[in-house]
A and B are shown apart, each in its own frame.
Chain A
């Protein structure tokens, strides 16, 4: 059974940093592209970053230069390092698996999310 379990969320002050983790199981993690998607309370979904099997990374303009996605295949883990956090980054952050045919792709499995709150 595919499982994605996020951790690392919490309360952080504006300008602060936070590192999210996603533990994957039930599939060959190294063979899949992985993504982070966020959702502010009561709002829609926003794609935040992606990392390919070769370590290539992708970001939207809203987080480029502040967020860094990475993966550690030996630990079946995905990470999101978030720096220079703003109030607008407050959201539930989901880890999601890309469907196994390479970019572009939809997301076929999602974790349950971890809440990040940016506030003083």
Chain B
């Protein structure tokens, strides 16, 4: 199975900060990469798919980039509602589809 490794595992940031989360695949996955946001006690929400395509309704402060093995999720101007855990997912190799371990974005 393809292993997805996110970094950092957690970070502290302030409202208005620019935040970048990275995700590395153990082998090339082209652009078959999605990002999800999960708040405590809630289901994950799709933010970005195909590495850089914003899901409908997601604010434009979220952006994604990368292809092959290295990917990034950037939040350009962190808002209070963005404090959550973020997961990357590869859907290139199927089965299984695999997720990163998550990055928790906390308030500084």
Interface residues of A (CB under 8 A from B): 37, 44-47, 50, 58-61, 94, 99, 103-113
The closest CB in chain B to the CB of A58 belongs to B95
Number of chain B residues whose Cβ lies closer than 8 Å to a Cβ of chain A: 25
Contact A46 B94 (CB under 8 A): no
Q: Which of B36, B43, B94, B102 contacts A104 (CB 8 A)?
A: B94
Contact B97 A47 (CB under 8 A): yes
Residues in A whose Cβ lies below 8 Å from that of B62: none
Contact A47 B98 (CB under 8 A): yes
11 A-B residue pairs with CB within 8 Å: A47-B96, A50-B94, A94-B43, A104-B94, A106-B89, A107-B34, A108-B46, A110-B43, A110-B44, A111-B43, A112-B42
Residues in B whose Cβ lies below 8 Å from that of A61: 96
Contact B32 A104 (CB under 8 A): yes
Indicate with 1 or 0, residue by residue over B72-108, a CB within 8 angstroms of chain A CB atoms: 0000000000000001010111111111111000000
Contact A44 B55 (CB under 8 A): no
The closest CB in chain B to the CB of A99 belongs to B49
B45 contacts partner chain A, Cβ-Cβ < 8 Å: yes
Contact A44 B99 (CB under 8 A): yes
Contact A44 B97 (CB under 8 A): no
